[in-house]
Chains A and B, each alone.
Chain A
Amino acid sequence: MKASHRWLTELSGVDASAADVAAALTRLGLEVEDVEPRGEGLDHVVIAEVRAAAPVQGKDKLTLVTVFDGEGERQVICGAPNVPAPGGRVVLARPGAVLPGGLAIAEREVGGVRSSGMLCSETELGIGPGGAGILVLTNGEPGRPGQLARDALELTDHVFEISLTPNRPDCLGHVGLAREVALAFGVAFRAPSPGVPARLLAGVDRLDAPGDLPLLEDDAPHLDTLTLVEMRAGVPALVPIRIESPERCPRYAGGVVQGVTIGPSPFWLRHRLFSLGVRPIDNVVDVTNLVLLELGHPIHAFDLAKLRGPEIVVRQAREGETMATLDGEERRFTADDLLICDGGGPVAVAGVMGGRDSEIGQDTRDVLIEVAYFDARSIRRTSRRLGLHTESSHRFERGVDPNGVPRAMRRAVSLMCLLARGAASPIARDVCPAPIAPRAIAFDPAHPGRLLGMPIAERQTRAALEAIGCAISPSEDHLWRVHAPTWRPDLGRPEDLVEEVARIGGYDAIPTALPRVLPSGRGVDARLRLARRLREAAADLGLLEAVNFAFVSRDDLTRARIPGAPLALANPLSEERAVLRTSLLPGLLAAVARSRRHQAASAALFELARVYHPVDGEPLPREPWHLAIALAGRRVDHVAEDARFDLYDGKGVLASIVEATLGAPLEAHGDEALDAEAPYLHPRRRARLSIDGVSVGVVGELHPDVGDAADLDARLVYGELWLERLFEAAAARGVPQARALPRFPSVSRDVALVVAESVQVGAVADALATAGERLVEAVELFDVYRGAGIEEGHKSLAFRVVYRDPGATLTDARVDTAHGRVVRAAMEAVGARPRA
């Protein structure tokens, strides 16, 4: 919301600097985000009077204008077509002036004639949209020759950009903002008089019907100064109104102004609209926009001649009904949209935008002014459905003041009579089938102090509530009955009133205190705690943490061969982010591919996040947390080494993470079930990960076809750990128990066994360890050999077997006997032979 400091000053009577007003509004909860000075730098720009104008010889577009600038006459060359006749007033930039666009004015020759200054257009002065030619002041507009233009035309101002919260529609107009300014500076606020029409239609009967809105009071002091104007033949002074949807349109008023003369608005109005970001159009439309900016109440003007009937019907649209709006778009409606119709069909989308066929034009003579109150939700839905967010819908969907209708009507009518020389019907129709009374809130005057944590005197509370327009009546008990003004739809509960008391006193005035928090004994959620330790362990091992979007494309999952169907978003931003990930692989794959494209020698990433697994028959998915790692490229970052990450790096990293966080050994083993469970892994380079037999994850090199599909030019090692399973395994494992340190030395024996390639190291080691010899303490692989001396398709595995008797020192003889048995049993178990 843009607001003019000058206008707020006029309305509030508070004479404070723009900076002070901005700070005060922000303190009240109306955050001023920006304060933009206007009219600065117009130092040598003055009002001048044209004394003579003559064509420049040979230059048919130029005029030599003699102007009086308050000090003397000077001659300037002007290229505009609208130089006024002598006596007309214009704006002169004297030599030395620098215009807002940066143009520096100096004496110079134009077309062979000396020009001592420049006559300015609105555009050149930065004060209007311009149009054809220089700014010419009309009779009745202020400014005498020699007066600085910025003073005469009131150009200096500060425009606030206010970030309004949606609960304060009352501040979407300057009167509402001025009320807050007055509040901030402790000044009593009185809303300005809307004025009375200066020209009235003669002979309109006053019916005193309930739907009548008189536009002037009988005892108005200026009744004598009114001009009475004959009604125009065949033009009604009152238009019948029928509301068919009173719940969506609780109030609708229509007022007639006859005989308007469409033309440009006076400068002050054009400038006011322009500086607040509204394009001036003509005097009638400008009046509707001014009322909107002043009172925050959107109103609409119809060309009465274009209304069929004429009558107004407010009803819901018929499904599929269409109408062209002011912006030229053909709109199609649903039965949920509210329309303003005449005798023939729709003429406006209620509260959103008028229709093209009834808009004000150059030849409009009679106007019907609509001032209404519409249900906020209805307007919001229509505005959203049509994708049409307007100044009007913005206000109606937040809630305008239903009881502000008469004021807005009076204001619009009186301005139109004044500026477009129309004559108003003294009575407008005001149909209000569902009157909206101020809300009454039962309020405990001790409530503010109790909720804010400070003593607050009752009279302070009363003063604050009255200052925002509440009426307080006593009630039977100790409670107050507070009647909130209807321009404040946000006030409905006692807490809302507490906030008013708090903000008027200022949040700064509330003390600070630390609560006594009882220790809950819960602390940090176990999963969050584990997640943190896992993340830190992964980072300690040299991995960079990635954070990917939770949504991926279906293709991402298909290309990565992730099994299972994902949950889909009903309204994704794009196909690329259409479903919720069921695996962390696609995200890490993309991150690694990205770093490969940047020619990084290697990538080592991890991500700890949730994935989303739909559950049959359940409305909400499971959200298990996974830790995933991705390694690709050079294992060691050095030019002289070329080893690449492989399965064992993945296994090693994950084992270290598990060891660091849970203190448990991570086992890896082959498992055919991975064909279905992890089809994205290389079928010959992969493993299931487990802790004490509990499956906790997978690791492997990426299936080469998956890598190709992702345009990955390197082998990727991918592994994941499932946090739920880690918990399960850790719980089963329990707390590690201490064991006495050995008192007797160990003895080791080495053995090299030749086995077929298909025999896994783990199987041989297990065979040695479990050969039935209780003296075996540990089995360690220390060499794998293939080549000379070992036949094709075989390998030699060298193990060190450590023997220890916890109760005695071992003799060589005992060890030899035991070792012989162990080796023989193991060879038999796995089909090995000793290496020659």
Chain B
Amino acid sequence: MSDALERFEKGLREVSEASAGAFTGRSTEQALRDENAKLVGPNGQLTQLMKLMRELPADRRKDLGQQANALKAEIQAAFEGALDRLARAAREAELTGPALDPTLPGRGVRRGRLHPLTRTIHQLVDVFVALGFDVEDAPEVDYASNCFGKLGFPPDHPATDMQDSFFVERPGGELDTVLRTHTTTVQIHQMLKRPPPMAVICPGAVYRRDDDATHSPMFAQIDGFAVDEGLTFAHLKGVLTAFVRRLFGDEVPVRFRPSYFPFVEPGGELDMGCVFCRPWEADAERTRACRVCKGTGWMEILGCGMIHPVVFEAVGIDPTRYTGFAFGMGIDRISMLRHGVSNIRLLYENDARFLARL
């Protein structure tokens, strides 16, 4: 009995002594925890000592128990104090230690972009949709007859030979399929598919055998047309004038002049005032020096006309009942003008430095 008492009291003294400097000079949290565990951990000195409590004389048990608890609290406080000091020191060190180098580059957030051609197409499409046009697709590999003959190209027209158009091989078959040379083929496809009235545009890639700074063998076009009873050239002018104004602004002048395409008659081209030197602002000097319009003040942007009766005859629409108008334009050039791109090849090289900037 007294043996236990003796051991307990001795133990308390030893723990008290051991705890006195236990937490000083320890510089890591782990060291503090190790020291703490030696004293009050599951196998710690004080914890072991407490197991003797039941063997202590009853009259001393309360007193010694209080002493042991006080010691435990003391140790706890010392441990926490030491932890706290350590944390403070670490915080102090962080706040006064070496700073991050703010001149290191920021962490990049990847920025995606639609291709400039795509964005131009979206803009044009949106304008025509607002004007009431459907947007349709047409195949890129098509019968030569859809691309030429039905559109009124005479046989032996330069566009129909191997020099100008890509023909697609067909094992064992004739050479009668081509990569479409214009999106105008949409007229044939749509008019064969549904009865008038209709108003349709078709954006897409087209192909011609040209390759230089201003011609790419693949490029993008939008064609559009409308067929109904009583459509007139005045309607053609109205729609295309509205198109130009919505795309480039109400102040931009437009002019129509006669031109020729096999699938329209009368045929024309639409010029719009040069949006770079803006001649309507009457700065003649700026216009004279303008390299985009070469000083003319006008930019050609599309071909147009009243649908030729041969086209209606080719698709079985009665040309004495229906009339229609059609137009087509290159998208690459519009995109190049907008972004100041001088070589069309840049549009198809997919250089990330180019794509990311535009």
A complexed with B = yes
Cβ contacts under 8 Å, B23 to chain A: none
Asked if A708 CB lies within 8 Å of chain B CBs, one says: no
User: How far apart sit A600 and B352, CA to CA, in the bound complex (Å)?
Assistant: 9
Chain A positions 790 through 801: 1 when the CB is less than 8 Å from some CB of chain B, otherwise 0:
000000000000
Asked whether any CB of chain A lies closer than 8 Å to the CB of B131, the reply is yes
The tally of residues in A whose CB lies under 8 Å from a CB in B reads 95
B217 touches A549 (CB 8 A): yes
B353 touches which of A165, A493, A514, A598 (Cβ 8 Å): A598
B137-A525 in contact (CB<8A): yes
Q: Does A321 contact B (CB under 8 A)?
A: no
Chain B: residues with CB nearer than 8 A to chain A?
104-115, 117-118, 122, 125, 129, 131-137, 139-143, 154-156, 158, 161-163, 166-170, 173, 175-177, 179, 197-199, 203, 205, 207, 209, 211, 217-218, 226, 228, 231-235, 237-239, 241-242, 255-260, 265-269, 294, 306, 308-309, 323, 347-353, 355-356
B155 near A377 with CB under 8 A, answer yes
- B350, A518: Cβ atoms closer than 8 Å: no
Separation of A495 and B152 alpha carbons in the complex (Å): 13
Mark out the residues of chain A between 615 and 674 whose CB falls within 8 Å of any chain B CB in the assembled complex.
619-621, 623, 636-641
A457 part of interface (Cβ distance < 8 Å): no
Give the shortest distance, in Å, between A367 (CB) and chain B (any CB): 33
**A525-B135, A547-B347 given; A452·B112 CB < 8 A:** no
Contacting pair B226 A623 (CB below 8 A): no
Determine whether A604 belongs to the interface, using a CB cutoff of 8 Å to chain B.
Answer: yes
B134 touches A520 (CB 8 A): yes
**Residue on B with the closest CB to A541?**
B112
Q: In whole angstroms, how far apart are the Cα atoms of A572 and B112 in the complex?
A: 33
* The 3 nearest A-B residue pairs measured at CB: A29-B258, A453-B232, A542-B110
- A495:B308 contact, CB within 8 angstroms: yes
Chain B contacts of A532 at CB under 8 A?
122
CB pair A168–B351 under 8 Å, yes or no, is: no
Chain B residues in 8 Å Cβ range of A26: 257
| A–B pairs, 11, beta carbons within 8 Å | A29-B259, A384-B161, A519-B132, A544-B113, A544-B352, A545-B355, A551-B217, A569-B166, A571-B162, A594-B350, A606-B112
Residues of B within 8 A of A523 (CB): 129, 134-135
**Cβ-neighbour of A595 out of B110, B217, B352 (below 8 A):** B352
> Residues of A contacting B132 with CB < 8 Å?
517, 519
- Report yes or no: A546 in contact with B355, Cβ–Cβ below 8 A: yes
- Say yes or no: A636 contacts B231, CB within 8 Å: no
Assess A547 versus B266: contact at CB under 8 Å? Given A515-B239, A532-B122: no
Q: Does A774 contact B (CB under 8 A)?
A: no
Q: Among B161, B207, B268, which residue has its beta carbon within 8 angstroms of that of A550?
A: B207
Asked whether any CB of chain B lies closer than 8 Å to the CB of A502, the reply is yes
Q: Could you say which residues of chain A place their CB within 8 Å of the CB of B228?
A: 515, 518
How far apart are the CA atoms of A727 and B228 in the complex, in Å?
A: 33
Q: Which of B105, B207, B348 contacts A547 (CB 8 A)?
A: B348
Is the CB–CB distance between A545 and B113 below 8 Å? yes
Task: Say if the beta carbon of A498 comes within 8 Å of chain B.
Answer: yes
- Bound together, the chains give a CA A94 to CA B234 distance in angstroms of 59
Which one of B129, B135, B142, B168 contacts A570 once the chains associate, using CB atoms below 8 Å?
B168
Partner of A381, one of B112, B156, B170, B241: B156
Q: Is A527 an interface residue when CB atoms closer than 8 A count as contact? A: yes
A619 pairs with B136, CB closer than 8 A: no
In contact, A545 and B234 (Cβ under 8 angstroms): no
Pairwise interchain contact B211-A573, C-beta atoms closer than 8 A: yes
* Inter-chain contact A495/B309, CB cutoff 8 Å: yes
Nearest to B356 among chain A residues (CB) is A544
Closest to B237 in A: A512
A612 in the interface, Cβ–Cβ < 8 Å? yes
List chain B residues, Cβ under 8 A from A168.
Answer: 260
